[in-house]
Amino acid sequence: MSVLASHHVVNGLMDRLVDPKSTLFQALAVVIVGTALGFLFDWANVWPTAWVVPIKVWISDLFRWLDKEATLGLFTVKQFTRTISWALKQPLLWTEYLLWKGAKPHQLLPIIWIAIATIAGIIAYNLRGPRIAMLVVAGIIGIVLVDSLPIIFGSIAKALRVQPLMAPEAITGISQLPADLLKATMSARKVRYVPWMTIVLGFGILGHWVGGWRLALTVVLCMGYLAVTGLWRESMKTFSLVVVAVPFSALMGLWLGVWVTRSKRAAKIITPIFDLMQATPHLAYLVPVVVMFGAGQVPALIATVIFAMPPMARCTILAIQTVPSDITESGRMSGCTPRQLLWKVQLPASQRTLLLGLNQVIMQTLAMVVICSLVGAQGLGHKLLFSLQQLKLGFATMQGAAIVLMAIVLDRITQAYANRASDYSHLEAKTFAQKHAHALIFFGMMAVTILASFYIRDVSMLSKKNLLVDSRDALELDKVIKTYTFAMIDFVRPIRDFITVHMLIPMRDFYHAIPWTVTVGVLAVLSYRMGGWTLTALTSGLMVFVILLVGNWQFAITTFYFVSTALVICVLIGVPLGVWAARSDRVAKIVMSGCDILQTFPSFIYLLPAIMLFRVGELAIITAIVPYATVPAIRYTYLGLKRIPAVTVEAAVANGCTPLQKLWKVELPVAVPEIMLGVNQTIMMGLAMTAITALIGGQDLGQEIYRALPTSDAGRGVMAGLGIATLGIIFDRLIGAWADQRKKELGVD
């Protein structure tokens, strides 16, 4: 039977080999011709350096010109970028003062406060009506007042102090109080950021409001960690960037998304830009920003805002398009103007999708803010980068954990809020205090902790001696990790070296040995098969013009080698896990929550275990990519299997399939298009991660970006970034076209 089957397969192969219309025949022809050309001419093997078109130089010149000479009519580009920097710096300064620098509120012009209150009030009015708008404005006034408490107390104290002469002896004890108050307030005015206790408890109350006690406890523990390990100030530096970037990204994304749904022309222009942006790795955003804006917090903010905006725009488009037509039509029939329709019908009706978009924005923002440490952004990422570069693994672990915990807090709270906010149900009549219990407790807590912070320094910021975990513990941890990794390295090194020398390097060399003509040719044949001439022109055109002509071929092949190797491992791990999860709900629960957690981690974090295990080198790079990129392979396999109609599976069982036959002959073939979409995601994430692994070596496109950063070499960085995006887009289009074709054949959608 099996002999017959293999005979059949061989026959089929032979048939296809000699059929000029088969993919196999055409691909083989391309390989033979390409290799032959490679033997004959050197240029067909490796693109000659002399033929490289100096696009990188042109781009660098363009940026230099933009920076130095270009004008936009009345003002120069330089002035324009400076203005943007200045405008972004204002809210950042304010959050920084509030969260960790400390300052007097009157340093901010009253006009800024009025502007903030007005804008927030208008937004709240549009979204939630007049009552909530009043609450928001009152809240902001409250913040200003609380912020001014020391001055108020100070004045009262001063006023009282004039009086003691008139006071009888009996109350001199009391008259001491104003003096204390004055002293405390005067000293408190020097450092007046929001105390850590206020923020931690505030998060706890927020957590309880949106998700109950469990979430509250999780949040308090996670945020508490930041305080008791002495990482509070760094955390708040990171957090203040997030706090400023998120509203910008979210509002711009919302606006762009709305625009796309309203105007076909906008959709035509913006959608491909978003596709390109999505395929471009984090790191690539940094180069042009550094060239135009320099290094530091503000450029980090700009890169972050640009990077984190597309998911919000996508979610907005999705949200508006998925509002049931009955609801939109009922809004129009109620006599809504287009603006009323948007603000009162479409956006609120799709609130959940929008809030999940916000969640994505926040997570992307945090990931990007951490990576921005490469361009000198302060905060946890900066510390982590420093520790990694020094191989201070104990510190790195503590700082990495801080980033992860912050990510978990932000993720869980926004997700819980998205679910809570769209879970509409009526209230039984309640008193004002019951309705606003959380707000009241919050304001009470705030008043108490802030007042307490005037007297007890540790409420504001834990002093070194009161930390639960301090740098000595980190050193201890460092030693422990080093001991273990040193102990392990004896085992690990031979394995690492074996895999590297006997598996990875030969593979890399093989990839590099393939003439570019063969690679481009095979790509063209595949593209033509999947999507005709348009796709062929797109993929091979991109490959030639963005990578080959530019002189990035070798780097791109190395990137491809990292990603493809990681991909094989991801699929080998991810697909079986997905299948297993689809078999058992208990397993599914564990695996899926594991995926959730892995997805929450900012990408930078994945370097940590790789470095601990393998230090630097190719195996370390692949080890960093795999856990990050496996998640979609698992998820899509699981979903693909779960979405198979029950009837199909039942029919297979009724036809007498064994469980294994059922899987191989029915379920997997039907689920393959879905699984391939997961593979697609895996490739995208792998590409994004290879860029970040530039920190631990590799001669790939990511490394090119990384090297372009300190020298502000715009052309080099931009073209390397576009190269990675190109690889991503090629994979995406090929797999997308294939999956569409297959889905059509299977009649599933």
Decide if 280 contacts 721 (C-beta within 8 A).
yes
The yes or no reply on residue 340 touching another protein (CB under 8 A) is: yes
For the CB of residue 352, give the shortest distance to another protein in the complex, in Å: 10
- Closer Cβ to another protein, 107 or 337, answer by number: 337
Q: Which of 28, 151, 160, 336 binds another protein (CB under 8 A)?
A: 336
Q: How many residues contact another protein, by CB under 8 A?
A: 23
CB of 327 to another protein, least distance (A): 5
Q: Please report, as residue ranges, which positions from 408 to 427 form the binding site for another protein (by CB under 8 A).
A: 422, 424-427
332 lies in the binding site for another protein (CB under 8 A) = yes
DSSP letters spanning 403-470: HHHHHHHHHHHHHHHHHHHT---PPPP--HHHHTHHHHHHHHHHHHHHHHHHH-HHHHS--GGG-SS-
For 467, phi then psi, to 5°, come to: -70, 145
736: tokens are 């997308």
**Residue 311 φ/ψ, nearest 5 degrees:** -60, -35
Q: Which is nearer to another protein, 54 or 129 (CB)?
A: 129
Q: How many CA atoms does the CB half-sphere of 182 hold within 13 Å?
A: 13
Q: How far is the CB of 338 from another protein (least distance, A)?
A: 8
Residue 436 beta carbon to another protein: minimum distance, rounded to whole angstroms: 17
Nearer to another protein (CB atom), residue 337 or residue 655:
337
The residue (of 2 and 325) whose beta carbon lies closer to another protein is: 325
Q: Alpha-carbon distance 599 to 490, whole Å? A: 32
Site for another protein in 9-28 (CB under 8 A): none
CA–chain centroid gap for 526, Å, is 32
Q: Note whether 120 and 136 are within 8 A (CB).
A: yes
Distance between CA 149 and CA 154 in Å, rounded? Answer: 8
**Quick one: how far is CA 647 from the chain centroid?**
39
Single-letter amino acid code for the residue at 540: S
**352 or 583: whose CB is closer to another protein?**
352
Three-state SS at 230: coil
Interface with another protein, residue 434, by CB under 8 A: no
Q: What is the 3-state secondary structure (H, E, C) of 95-128?
A: HHHHHHHCCCHHHCCHHHHHHHHHHHHHHHHHHH
- Nearer to another protein (CB atom), residue 425 or residue 431: 425
Binding another protein (rule: CB under 8 A), the pick from 78, 344, 583, 707 is 344
Q: Which is nearer to another protein, 49 or 325 (CB)?
A: 325
Supply the minimum distance, in Å, between the C-beta of residue 429 and another protein: 9
- Under the binding rule (CB under 8 A), the answer on residue 337 touching another protein is yes
The least distance separating another protein from the CB of residue 645, rounded to whole angstroms, comes to: 23
- Which x/- pattern, by CB under 8 A, does the window 351-390 give for another protein? x---------------------------------------
Burial class (CB in 10 A: 0-12, 13-18, 19+), 583: middle
Residue 348 touching another protein (CB under 8 A) = yes
Q: By CB under 8 A, is residue 334 in contact with another protein?
A: yes
Nearer to another protein, 344 or 662 (CB): 344
Question: 260 or 323: whose CB is closer to another protein?
Answer: 323
Among 121, 331, 394, 515, binds another protein (CB under 8 A): 331
Residue numbers 300-329 binding another protein by CB under 8 A: 324, 326-327, 329
- Give the Cα separation of 65 and 143 in Å (integer): 45
Write the CA distances from 112 to 90, 109, 147, 273, integer angstroms. Answer: 10, 5, 15, 34
* Nearer to another protein among residue 224 and residue 331 (C-beta): 331
Q: Which of 44, 345, 633, 677 binds another protein (CB under 8 A)?
A: 345
Q: How far is the CB of 336 from another protein (least distance, A)?
A: 5
Least CB distance from residue 330 to another protein, whole Å?
3
**CA nearest to 161, candidates 184, 150, 177:** 177
**Residue 83 vs 334, nearer CB to another protein:** 334
Determine if 69 is a binding residue for another protein (CB under 8 A).
Answer: no
The whole-angstrom separation of Cα 641 and Cα 575 is 11
Cα–Cα distance measured from residue 504 to residue 565, given in angstroms and rounded to the nearest whole number = 8
- Give the residues lining the site for another protein (CB under 8 A): 324, 326-327, 329-337, 340, 344-345, 348-349, 351, 422, 424-427
